[in-house]
Chain A
Amino acid sequence: MQITGYSDQISVAPGETIDFMVNCEGAKTYRADLVRIICGDTNPDGPGVKERMVRSAANKTYKGRKQVIHSGSFVAVPTSAALDDLKSFTFQAFIWPTTPEKGTQSIMSKWRDRDKAGAALIITKANGSVALCLGDGKGKVEVINAGKSLVAREWYFVAASYDAKTKQVCVYQLPLKDFPRVKDRGVVRAKSKLGRIGPHSEALTFGAYYQRTDKGRMVCGGHYNGKIDSPRIANRVLSPAEMELVKSWPLPGGLSNAVVGAWDFSQELKSTRVVDLTENRLHGETVQMPARAMTGHNWTGEEMNWRHAPEQYGAIHFHDDDIYDAGWEVDFGLTIPKTMKSGLYAMRVRAGKEEDYIPFAIRPPRGKATAKICFLLPTGSYMAYANEQMSTDVPLAQLLSGKLSVLQQQNLHLNVHREYGASCYDSHSDGSGICYSSRLRPILNMRPKYAMWLGGTGSSLWQFNADTHIIDWLEAMNFDYDVITDEDLHYEGLSAIEQYNVVVTGSHPEYHSTEMWDAMHEYTQRGGRLMYLGANGWYWRIAYHAESPGIMEVRRNEDGIRAWEARTGEYYHSFTGEYGGLWRRNGRAPQVIAGTGFSAQGFDVSSYYRQKPDARNPRAKFIMAGIGPDELIGDFGLIGDGAAGLELDRADRMLGTPPHALVLASSENHTDIYLVVCEEILISYPGIGGAESELVRADIVFYETPNGGGVFSTSSIAWSGSLAHNGYKNNVSRMTKNVLKRFVDPKPL
């Protein structure tokens, strides 16, 4: 793709400014236009792509330029005399390397690559062992290694010292666990042949070495994959006994003058700060968000919560593909006019025949609803899926979908541009799960016109583009609505939605922070009405970073449909200290807030719902009005040819469905690609496919909440794809409209 972009915000109010960052290669100029997104489905059997041009001050032709992403995390400690003046020294740390065979990887570096000046404790590409790399500042480099390959995913104590007078170098690679026939212990003493180590005043780095500065961004090389714990730097050669003493804190009196820096990664780990315990206060900052709250070399397994035993969580896990902020320069901004209507918008950028969209919500003015209906754009879920790469990386993709994967240009671009970063459904290059996802980068699957391999047959829609069918339907039915995002709900709580009579969800509102969960629950208990037009909602607990905007965290703990598994002991969010994982495992199953919760999934074809006796209950009369008692609900649709499909939720009293909830209809006749979710399976057993298991179903549920409120849940991701069928005249559309009309009416339910 020649043109890609992102914005600094995902939700913006009238009077506020949103900035756009664009990479444009191969074209001198590009055109930007503000558009209102109505429907992004390219399927000729559906309503078609609908977008409305909106006049704005930003609609112009701009000069194109290439902008690049420097992914890969590290810690940077600003330059200081204590580090710059080092002559003799000792570097030491505990490490847990995950890809020792990858090539040169820097554990800790006081290095300037331009002229090869300084020193670095590295893993050498020569043999995958720890080494001391020295540079004279005139281009000459010397590497002295421990001679034994490291074993991946094992803890080591590693160190290297250099005596400026004698040129004596010592390199230590000491495994914390011995395997009798594995030779991975190495201690090497050698004399450096380098005349002197080149002085410089660039930053100290952990997890990579300094290369250069690009438009204010520090660019590093030699990105390390794995954990680093308790790094130390001394201003002289330490003996092995002294190294042992320096591992812990506080230091014995005699060594405090020798130790220049001693970093404790467990301190302030909710932030991007890295704390030096010494009086030198050589504090650093993480860059590109490496994983924190990771078990350290001394983790015993007795404590799972890092807040209870921070001393056992002194490790940071660095990845060569971590990405928080693409860091592109701003191309242009747009101040939203005071009169602009709330809705789903995008900045459309076009260069030649190529285009990209940068979607965002224009919310109503802060504190002032401008409609009775609120569409809650599930941006947390979009971020969790941001730049998902399962179709190019994971063999099970075609088993999940029961068909050939169909890839788009976006997938091809992401496959070769790994610096864009992947999603919380993918793994880092070292195989560890991606627990953070940021929107400060182009998110190429959060786009109108995008079809996804996971979205079933037909339109093949998922998340953002599937949700445009709900927007399209609201427009077609002439409902007036505001749009706000998950982040608005997170940061503002109940006040973001309390003025609305109804909150309508997207097709797949899967990820919720505690703040979001509390706000929505409070809303329904105070008389608010919730229309849950999807499935797999309120499933994972997430956290947003308290200081760095636009990044969320999920820990794939213990249970649930997981694309990867959090390592034991790493179940608590680093951003908040909360226990992560499924909301169900946090005492709040989805049924508690929405009446139904995740029960089965499959990604080939969808099915229909059959009405249940509750459909005849007088309380449901307003919902079923105009729908014949024998009608199948949603035996049509653009997503898999049915309204019940992809992911399915069911009612379950034992999981929190209110006792008075009505189950109006349940889906049936799903294929065997559909399987019961793993949190339901305590003992493995046959018969968990769609053909046999009664848990493979979606339940349409309605119930009243206190103070005149109510909840209506359709429990299927595919629901949105059936709304437009037959010119919006169908029983899915009818039922949705019946409910929305009643829910808008303030009269208590």
Chain B
Amino acid sequence: MAKTQAKPKRRSATEENRRLIEEFRARPVGHHSADLQRIINKLRGSPMAGKYCLVTVKPHKQWQLAQTSGVRGKPLKMLNKKFTSLEKAEWHVFKLRWKEHTGETLR
């Protein structure tokens, strides 16, 4: 009887993404693994039309989500979402961009 060869343990793409998503959530700005950096380069490199950014409401206290127009002279679109933490804002926008790129909703 032939021995059943154990398959090497490989993480699925979903598991790998989960790991990178958690890495981002834990530290949205700063040192990142090469795999995560590749993902966020894509997410952050989107064109200016509809690109997310923040507008300071109260310095170092409150920021409002906005989108640039991509057209010179055309105002930003201010969105109905405010943050009191830049990390939370990064995570929020990461989820929005992830959804746009993959169709997957992160929680």
Contact = CB atoms under 8 A, between A and B. Distances in A.
Interface residues of B, number: 34
Interface in A396-411: 396, 398-399, 402-409
A394 interface: yes
A429 B55 contact: no
A429 B54 contact: no
Given A398-B44, A416-B73, A404 B59 contact: no
A404 B48 contact: no
Interface in A408-465: 408-409, 412, 415-416, 418, 429, 449, 451, 457
A278 interface: no
B34 A672 contact: yes
B34 to A, nearest CB: 7
B37 A672 contact: yes
B85 interface: no
B20 interface: no
Contact of B46 (A395, A403, A408, A605): A395
Q: Which of B29, B34, B52, B54 has the most CB of A within 10 A?
A: B29
B56 A44 contact: no
A103 to B, nearest CB: 14
Instruction: Sort chain A's interface into a size bin.
Output: 20 to 34
Contacts of A449: 59
Nearest to A411: B55
B60 interface: yes
A392 interface: yes
B72 A393 contact: yes
Contacts of A409: 56
B75 A406 contact: no
Nearest to A457: B29
A251 B72 CA distance: 45
A9 interface: no
DSSP majority for the A interface? loop
Contact of A398 (B28, B30, B45, B75): B45
Nearest to B76: A412
A418 B60 contact: no
Given A407-B54, A451-B56, A604 B29 contact: yes
Nearest to A670: B31
A671 B48 contact: no
Contacts of B76: 392, 407, 412, 415
Given A42-B59, A395-B47, A671-B32, A407 B72 contact: no
Contact of B31 (A396, A405, A412, A671): A671
Given A43-B60, A407-B53, A672-B37, A395 B86 contact: no
A-B pairs, top 3 by smallest CB distance, nearest first, are A42-B59, A398-B44, A405-B53
Interface of B: 28-32, 34, 37, 40-41, 44-48, 51-56, 59-60, 63, 66, 68, 72-76, 86, 89-90, 93
Given A403-B86, A604-B29, 16 more contacts: A42-B59, A43-B60, A391-B68, A392-B76, A393-B48, A396-B45, A398-B44, A398-B45, A402-B29, A402-B40, A404-B86, A404-B89, A405-B54, A406-B56, A449-B59, A605-B29
16 contacts: A391-B68, A395-B51, A398-B53, A402-B29, A403-B90, A404-B52, A406-B63, A407-B53, A407-B54, A412-B75, A415-B73, A415-B75, A418-B72, A429-B72, A604-B30, A671-B31
